[in-house]
């Protein structure tokens, strides 16, 4: 145990770089506006996809056709997770 403590004491970890808040480069306001429009459009499409899959499930259940919609719902919810993760990453970078 002592050798492990001595070994760990010899190595110092580098401090994590703090990027700060940063300043938006000049001339990029149009890009930020376009990214905002794309983000809102994709979020709208994700919500619409969930509604469409739910509607399709309801109609097919009423008709007696069953059970194949879970994969469609999984794909749509997977897309929603990707949008949520990417919006957080882009929001941190922009």
**Quick check: 15 pLDDT over 90?**
no
Determine what percent of the chain is predicted with pLDDT higher than 90.
Answer: 9
Whether 35 contacts 90, CB under 8 Å? yes
pLDDT (0 to 100) of residue 39:
85
Name the helix (H) or strand (E) containing 53: helix 29-63
DSSP 64: T
pLDDT (0 to 100) of residue 35:
83
20 in helix, strand or coil? coil
pLDDT (0 to 100) of residue 28:
79
pLDDT (0 to 100) of residue 51:
92
* Residues 62-75 pLDDT 10s: 777 767 778 888 88
pLDDT (0 to 100) of residue 2:
57
């Amino acid at each position: 145990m002592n050798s492990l403590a001595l070994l760990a004491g010899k190595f110092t970890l580098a401090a994590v770089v703090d990027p700060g808040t940063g300043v938006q480069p000049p001339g990029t306001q149009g890009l930020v506006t376009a990214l905002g429009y794309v983000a809102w459009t994709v979020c709208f499409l994700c919500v619409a996809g969930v509604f469409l899959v739910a509607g399709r499930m309801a109609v097919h259940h009423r008709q007696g056709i069953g059970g194949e919609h879970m994969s469609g719902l999984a794909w749509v919810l997977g897309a929603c997770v990707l949008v949520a993760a990417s919006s957080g990453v882009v929001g941190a970078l922009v």
